[in-house]
Structure 1
Amino acid sequence: MNTAAQMSEANARFHYMDNLRALAMLTGVVFHAALAYSVLAHPLWPTADRGYSLLIDAFAWFFHLFRMPLFFVVAGFFAALLVQKRGMGGMLNNRFMRIIMPLIVFWPLVYFSMGWLIRYAIADVQNLSPLLQMIKPWLANPQAPTAPPTLVHLWFLPYVMCFCILVWVASTLEWHQHLSGLIAWLDALTPMMKACLVPLALMPALFAVPAPFPAPESFFPQWWALLFYGTYFLIGFRLFHQARSVDHLRPYAPRLLLLSLLAYALFFYLLQTKDTTKPEFILQATFVLLQAYTGYWMTLVCIIFGQRWLDVHHGFLRYIADASYWVYLIHLPLIFAIQIPLMDVNLHWSVKLSLSVGATLSIAFLTYHLLVRGRLLGKFLNGNNSSSKTSA
């Protein structure tokens, strides 16, 4: 690629990637709100409600399988864009300012506010969730050990930074030269053949965790998450340099969507019928296989459809994309604050879910408009308007 083409590509506005990133984050708001009414998450979620439904599980865990994989593809794509535009040092500096600095500022606010909300719920709510019922005597014991802190829903930030550092390491060591044969072999495959082979690389990581795969919230990096999400980050990084590969995949989109839905239907059926004991190897391998293919194929479908329908310059979509980072950073304490009083309210789960999602998004977008957009906090999160296309 000549220099002029490189500059044109680096300065282009990838609207569909901005919008896909926003959708992945906003879907996370709905997902976390839905967990309170999930059958599968009922024993484990702090705001688990008396009302729950398998319908919630059917939709929530489907989006779970590709929501964060899609985000890491977008993160890898924008990392490659930053390298092209600003160099490796500029990319690392941008990622530190847009990822690590917000993590340093927002993690204490999120973590301690959620801790306070849980204590408030234990003291004031009558219909406690199973998890809060278990925590209540533990908190009442002054000699009980303190639970180790977690990254909560902000766990993805240090992983993105880690992958950006690994890109710099790989570039410095010129690993691409050692892998040139493998890369050439992969590039020679047909699009559908690659779509069938890539998920195999995701399977070893998924063998290490239960199904559906959990969020790696620990402060200590987990090898399965590094391998799993790192693969998606690498896919996004390569996608920036092979944008035409999306065009090659477009004819296969309906087929990939249908196969994804069939794979997920089988996964969800097995998830509901499996024994509570540790599954046998064949069943575990089936879960891993179905998660890997459903997640990867749906990620491809989102990218294909996103490029087709979301690659537009539209004021409303731009506003949503700019706001999505703030919305995601603050949404979980808002959800807890809204759902905790609802635990004692006698309403159908669908009404409670609608109230949770509607109120959370309303408050988050309102505070973005009043406190963040066009202000110092907005620049801190997204940079200048001209560079917001490369924020993660």
Structure 2
Amino acid sequence: MNSPSVLSAVEPVEVCTASDSSRSSAPRFYYMDSMRSILMMLGVVLHGALIYSATDHWIVSDSHNSIFFSLLDSVIHVFRMPTFFIIAGFFSMMSLQKYGIKVFTQVRLVRIVVPLLSTALIVNTLELYFRTTVLHHEPMSLGHFLARVLPQLWLSGQWVSHLWFLLTLLQFFAVGISLFLLAGYLPKWTQMRPLVAGIRKNCYFLLLIPCADLVWNVAAKIAPNIFHGSLCCGLLNLEDFITFLPYFLLGLWLFKDKTLQDEFHRIARWEWGMLPLAVLVHYLEENAHGFNTESLLRIYSFGVICALASHICYVLFYRFMNRDSRVFRYLSDASYSIYLFHHICVVIFGYLLLSSTIAIGYKFLAVEIATFAVTLSLHHFLILRIPVLRFLFNGKKTARS
């Protein structure tokens, strides 16, 4: 039996690639190769933009900044992760139905937990050492850092960094398995069919997704110690879980409901009008805070922006990128390595250019080019060619697993 493949993406999600589909009866999802490759690369762009953002203070922040990079960060942020989780849910349900819970769990644990631990213990530890000794100006030996400082950083959850996606994905897999198990025991609520058909038509259900943002914000006001920040040494972040869970559930539903797939493969007319309206409302209410109508309207409008933007992103890839491409298949395979290694590269290269007097646009391009060059080289010359590294950082025991 062939094992289901795991999407090797920045924040890996499940997908059946062209190479996988040639060995099975599964349909080919060429646009998924393109989508995960480009969305992964946008993660590198997003972190690079944070260095030069005029409104965000990141790990490395250049004193010369621009509102352009703030806008670039904001635009990428609204659709990138929601789209990833939709795809994750879709292919999780497909794999569960095709291979069953046992195989699904075995493959997911290896493909996600092994690279997660390897990156946390090696790559993120080196990044934390760099941040402590160089960025925070606290020189110390590596031995002293490992023995005295690193344990405190782990307890506070600072080891997680960009690996939050893998942790959240594992939690969503547990949700998917639970729903898969419960599906056979739940009664068939025939009286709910008209309601489901109503919200499925023209994808009106997208207007319900922002309710998760409202729930989280209300909960954060009631119990800020629980809903703000990470828990259990960084293993759990309730904000990420609640905010992105609807997108994962949408992906599960999308695979099970063929009628929904037909609706989801096109953009309804109302979405083109609702998106600019939501942007306008969010802009007008951007300074609204507290527990009031204006603040809730701001939160809901931002959720609408994310939901509609992720749908538009999905449809555009489906329509214009649904063809085989050797380049995107290669980048799709490399995307897991790029995701795992890019964060430390962006931090180091951004720091090295802080004192440079060249324009920030050239600095940004230099960070991007250097990061892609290093991460792709690591993947091509090390990950693909050394089995132990391929297992540690891609979770694959062989080149074709």
Q: TM-score, normalised to structure 1's length?
A: 0.80
Residues 208 and 224 of structure 1 are in contact (CA less than 8 Å); yes or no, is this contact kept in structure 2?
A: no
Q: How does 1:124-139 map to 2 (within 5 A)?
A: none
Residues 18 and 321 of structure 1 are in contact (CA less than 8 Å); yes or no, is this contact kept in structure 2?
A: yes
Residues 207 and 285 of structure 1 are in contact (CA less than 8 Å); yes or no, is this contact kept in structure 2?
A: no
**SS, match of residue 312 in structure 1:** coil
User: In the alignment, which of 29, 33, 45 is matched to residue 18 of structure 1?
Assistant: 33
Q: Which residue of 2 aligns with 1:155?
A: 164
Q: Which residue of 2 aligns with 1:64?
A: 77
User: In the alignment, which of 326, 332, 338 is matched to residue 327 of structure 1?
Assistant: 338
**SS, match of residue 267 in structure 2:** helix
Q: Report the CA distance shift for 1:111/1:261 in structure 2 as closer, same or farther (over 3 A).
A: farther
Q: Report the CA distance shift for 1:182/1:375 in structure 2 as closer, same or farther (over 3 A).
A: farther
Q: Larger RCO: Structure 1 or Structure 2 (Cα < 8 Å, ≥ 6 residues apart)?
A: 1
2:191 is aligned with 1:186:
no
Displacement of 1:379 in angstroms is: 5.6
Q: Report the CA distance shift for 1:374/1:77 in structure 2 as closer, same or farther (over 3 A).
A: farther
Gaps of 5+ in 1: 1-6, 125-131, 133-138, 388-392
Gaps of 5+ in 2: 1-20, 139-144, 222-226
Q: Report the CA distance shift for 1:215/1:156 in structure 2 as closer, same or farther (over 3 A).
A: farther
Residues 267 and 311 of structure 2 are in contact (CA less than 8 Å); yes or no, is this contact kept in structure 1?
A: no
2:181 is aligned with 1:172:
yes
Report the more deviating stretch, 368-377 or 345-354. 368-377
**SS, match of residue 11 in structure 1:** coil
Displacement of 1:64 in angstroms is: 0.8
2:351 is aligned with 1:351:
no
Residues 228 and 239 of structure 2 are in contact (CA less than 8 Å); yes or no, is this contact kept in structure 1?
A: no
Distance in 2, matches of 1:295 and 1:306, equals 17
Matched to 1:149, the amino acid is: G
Q: Report the CA distance shift for 1:292/1:385 in structure 2 as closer, same or farther (over 3 A).
A: farther
**RMSD (CA atoms):** 3.3
Q: Report the CA distance shift for 1:172/1:306 in structure 2 as closer, same or farther (over 3 A).
A: same
Distance in 2, matches of 1:258 and 1:365, equals 40
Displacement of 1:13 in angstroms is: 2.3
Report the more deviating stretch, 314-323 or 226-235. 226-235
Q: Which residue of 2 aligns with 1:95?
A: 108
2:216 is aligned with 1:205:
yes
Distance in 2, matches of 1:200 and 1:160, equals 21
**Cα-to-partner distance string for 1:244-281 (whole Å, 9 max, x where unaligned):** 5343244535653553345235535654xx27xx5452
**Cα-to-partner distance string for 1:197-231 (whole Å, 9 max, x where unaligned):** 33334431255569xx9996961423332222221
Q: TM-score, normalised to structure 2's length?
A: 0.78
2:56 is aligned with 1:48:
no
Higher helix share: 1
Q: Which residue of 2 aligns with 1:226?
A: 241
Displacement of 1:123 in angstroms is: 6.9
Distance in 2, matches of 1:18 and 1:179, equals 36
Identity of aligned residues (%): 23
Distance in 2, matches of 1:319 and 1:269, equals 43
Residues 22 and 325 of structure 1 are in contact (CA less than 8 Å); yes or no, is this contact kept in structure 2?
A: no
User: In the alignment, which of 132, 145, 153 is matched to residue 119 of structure 1?
Assistant: 132
Q: How does 1:246-261 map to 2 (within 5 A)?
A: 246-252=261-267, 256-257=271-272, 259-261=274-276
